[in-house]
């Protein structure tokens, strides 16, 4: 309908603004902050895409989504076809449209930057398409697949984005897939980490229901390596195993007072609120409330924790970060939303000690003032202590969000896996096969803490490789 639009007209269209709940209202509730584009907004934003012959945006997408193609279909209001393009490469577009760091990926490579204009809102459009397409009919196990696959049992350890994407791709290929999850809920960080105000559970549940409809079985409350061993899986006839057990082990700073009551990890805080209902008035083990809550760190997890603290009534919800805002790894959008919601940013401060009261409850935090030095291995300017610049502030709760390490259970329990000194499982980068030929691994257990889209991409890659291996084995029989 807009074939006649010239590039100069497309370029003249301003980038769309996502409708959002007002900060005052949303900082007291769990409703999703970003409300999604209207149809009119989405179609207009799609017109901005110049359909570049060499789309650099695609180079910025870890799974290579056909970005101009899905946007062109969106512009033509062919939403189901646009969704089909997304689904070719991304198993969870409604999730990625919400949580992918597009500003560092696809949108950072948009041609509009060269024109000194804001990039096309690729993430917003992805979300619009995923949310507004008609539900797809569930994939039938064995549909169009070589016979015999439905007798091949495949186990998946962990139900985060890596495991879900692997499971979906193997089910599509006709295998008999079972996902084992340690927690009582399916979804990994998508459920236990990222709060509902950023990623509603219903969005994740749609994807889980699709997988169930495709025949994927889920076993919850089952810790592989404890409840069931590597041998148990093999004796149950699982011929291939994909490990997507994530990086759920919180790091601490190992400073004085860190074991005081009221100092906890962001993982514990978020899991207890998101998954255990610890913020409900009738909770058996209620979450730690406080008026002055300090969250240590500058990543997405820190922002999720501090914004949760604000919603749970903290009058002073503070981010304490040892570098400046420019170096923060969190998504820009999250930093912006946190500020709008009244979060206080104490940049260039590093905690060196916690002080408690006679009951062992944290009461104060001693902070070292920092300045920025030369860039370090991460490419970011490194924080340096300013001599004698020490401050002490009152706090009721400290939440430590300084990164995570791989879950050690699988690396310890599976004999024969190669494990790096960081605790990650070592894989062949070409096909994600581990040192054990029938076991593949991907997501955070291989990368350390990374992103949803990278975890999903790993699940897809491992599924393709395992399928090839099993198919070859079958043809040799």
Ligand X SMILES: Cc1cc2nc3c(=O)[nH]c(=O)nc-3n(C[C@H](O)[C@H](O)[C@H](O)COP(=O)(O)OP(=O)(O)OC[C@H]3O[C@@H](n4cnc5c(N)ncnc54)[C@H](O)[C@@H]3O)c2cc1C
Alpha-carbon dihedral 67, 70, 71, 73, rounded to 10 degrees: 160
Taking the least distance from each CB to ligand X, the nearer of 46 and 446 is 446
Shortest Cβ distance from residue 440 to ligand X (Å)?
A: 13
* Using rule CB under 6 A, residue 119 touches ligand X: no
Write the DSSP assignment of 264-286 as a string of letters.
EEHHHHHHHHHTT-TTSTT-SSP
Residues 135-194 that bind ligand X (CB under 6 A): 157-163, 180-183, 188-189, 193-194
State which H helix or E strand residue 381 sits in: strand 381-394
Q: How many whole angstroms separate alpha carbon 13 and alpha carbon 87?
A: 28
Question: Angle at CA 45, nearest 5°, toward 41 and 50?
Answer: 165
For 92, 165, 220, 259, 437, the CA distances from 187, given in Å and listed in that order, are 11, 11, 11, 30, 27
Applying CB under 6 A, which of residues 100, 141, 294, 400 lies at the interface with ligand X? Answer: 100
Local structure of residue 260 (DSSP, 8 states): S
Contact stretch for ligand X (CB under 6 A) within 126-134, 313-321, 362-370, 447-455: 447-455
Residue closer to ligand X by CB (options 300, 368) is 300
Is the CB of 99 or the CB of 399 nearer to ligand X? 99
CB of 31 to ligand X, least distance (A): 18
Among 196, 304, 341, 467, binds ligand X (CB under 6 A): 304
Member of 60, 123, 244, 257 binding ligand X (CB under 6 A) = 244
- For the CB of residue 99, give the shortest distance to ligand X in the complex, in Å: 4
Among 85, 170, 451, 462, binds ligand X (CB under 6 A): 451
Name the residue nearer to ligand X (CB basis): 43 or 130.
130
Determine the interface stretch with ligand X among 106-114, 117-125, 206-214, 440-448 (rule: CB under 6 A).
440-448
Query: In three state form, how does the secondary structure of 432-470 look?
Result: CECCCCCEEECCHHHHCCCCHHHHHHHHHHHHHHHHHHH
Closest CA to 190 of 231, 170, 160: 160
Tokens 């944290």 found at: 362
Q: Which two tokens stand for residue 19?
A: 């409708």
For the CB of residue 222, give the shortest distance to ligand X in the complex, in Å: 6
From residue 413, give the alpha-carbon distance in Å to each of 245, 302, 410, 418, 420: 13, 31, 5, 12, 15
Q: How many CB atoms lie within 10 A of CB 139?
A: 20
By rule CB under 6 A, what string of x and - marks binding of each residue 48-87 to ligand X?
----------------------------------------
What is the C-alpha to C-alpha distance for residues 90 and 344, in angstroms, rounded to an integer?
A: 36
What phi, psi does 34 have (nearest 5°)? -90, 130
User: In the complex with ligand X, which residue's Cβ is closer, 38 or 227?
Assistant: 227
Using CB under 6 A as the binding rule, whether residue 245 contacts ligand X is answered as: yes
Question: Do 452 and 441 meet the contact criterion of CB atoms below 8 Å apart?
Answer: no
Polymer length in residues for the chain? 477
Residues in binding contact with ligand X, number by CB under 6 A: 42
| Minimum gap (Å) between residue 327 Cβ and ligand X | 18
Candidate list 450, 464, 469, 471; residue touching ligand X; CB under 6 A? 450
Query: Under 8 Å CB-to-CB from 429, ≥6 apart: which residues?
Result: none
**Contact call for residue 410 and ligand X (CB under 6 A):** yes
Residue 333 CB, nearest approach to ligand X (Å): 9
* Gap between the Cα atoms of 361 and 160, Å rounded: 34
Burial class (CB in 10 A: 0-12, 13-18, 19+), 145: middle
47 or 210: CB nearest ligand X: 210
**Binding mask 263-302 vs ligand X (x if CB under 6 A, - otherwise)?**
-------x-----------------------------xx-
Between 146 and 416, name the residue whose CB sits nearer to ligand X.
416
Least Å distance, CB 145 to ligand X, is: 25
Choice between 73 and 328, CB closer to ligand X: 328
Q: What share of the chain is helix, strand, coil (3-state, %, to 5)?
A: 35, 20, 45
Report in angstroms how near the CB of residue 157 gets to ligand X at its nearest.
5
Please report how close the Cβ of residue 151 comes to ligand X at its closest, in angstroms: 24
Binding positions for ligand X, rule: CB under 6 A: 99-101, 157-163, 180-183, 188-189, 193-194, 223-225, 244-246, 248, 270, 300-301, 304, 331, 407, 409-410, 443-445, 449-453, 455
């Amino acid at each position: 309908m807009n074939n006649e639009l010239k590039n100069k007209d497309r370029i003249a269209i301003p980038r769309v603004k996502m409708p959002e709940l007002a900060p005052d209202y949303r900082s007291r509730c769990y409703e999703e902050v970003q409300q999604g584009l209207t149809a009119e907004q989405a179609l207009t934003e799609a017109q901005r895409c110049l359909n570049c012959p060499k789309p650099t945006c695609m180079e910025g997408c870890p799974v290579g989504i056909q970005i101009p193609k899905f946007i062109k279909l969106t512009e033509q209001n062919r939403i189901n076809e646009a969704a089909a393009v997304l689904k070719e490469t991304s198993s969870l577009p409604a999730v990625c449209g919400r949580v992918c760091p597009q500003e560092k990926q696809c949108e950072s490579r948009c041609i509009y930057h060269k024109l000194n204009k804001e990039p096309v809102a690729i993430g917003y459009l992805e979300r619009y398409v995923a949310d507004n397409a008609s539900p797809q009919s569930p994939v039938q196990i064995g549909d169009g697949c070589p016979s015999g696959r439905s007798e091949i049992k495949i186990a998946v350890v962990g139900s985060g984005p890596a495991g879900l994407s692997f499971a979906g791709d193997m089910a599509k290929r006709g295998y008999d897939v079972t996902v084992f999850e340690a927690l009582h809920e399916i979804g990994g960080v998508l459920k236990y980490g990222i709060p509902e105000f950023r990623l509603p559970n219903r969005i994740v549940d749609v994807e889980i229901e699709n997988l169930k409809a495709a025949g994927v079985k889920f076993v919850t409350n089952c810790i592989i390596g404890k409840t069931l061993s590597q041998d148990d899986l093999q004796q149950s006839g699982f011929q291939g195993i994909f490990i997507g057990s994530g990086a759920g082990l919180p790091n601490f700073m190992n400073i004085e007072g860190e074991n005081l009551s009221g100092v906890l990890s962001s993982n514990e805080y978020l899991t207890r609120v998101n998954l255990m209902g610890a913020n409900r008035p009738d909770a058996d083990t209620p979450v730690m409330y406080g008026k002055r809550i300090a969250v240590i760190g500058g990543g997405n997890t820190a922002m999720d924790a501090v914004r949760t603290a604000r919603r749970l009534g903290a009058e002073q919800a503070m981010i304490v970060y040892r570098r400046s805002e420019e170096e923060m790894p969190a998504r820009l959008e999250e930093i912006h939303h946190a500020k709008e919601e009244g979060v206080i940013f104490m940049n260039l401060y590093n905690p060196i000690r916690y002080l408690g009261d006679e009951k062992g409850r944290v009461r104060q935090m001693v902070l070292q003032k920092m300045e920025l030095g030369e860039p370090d291995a991460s490419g970011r300017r490194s924080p340096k202590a300013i001599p004698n610049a020490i401050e002490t502030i009152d706090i009721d709760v400290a939440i430590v969000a300084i990164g995570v390490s791989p879950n050690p259970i699988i690396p310890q329990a599976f004999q024969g896996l190669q494990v790096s000194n960081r605790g990650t499982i070592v894989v062949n980068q070409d096909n994600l096969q581990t040192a054990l030929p029938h076991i593949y691994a991907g997501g955070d257990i291989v990368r350390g803490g990374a992103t949803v889209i990278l975890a999903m991409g790993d699940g897809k890659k491992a599924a393709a490789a395992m399928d090839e291996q099993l198919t070859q084995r079958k043809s040799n029989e």
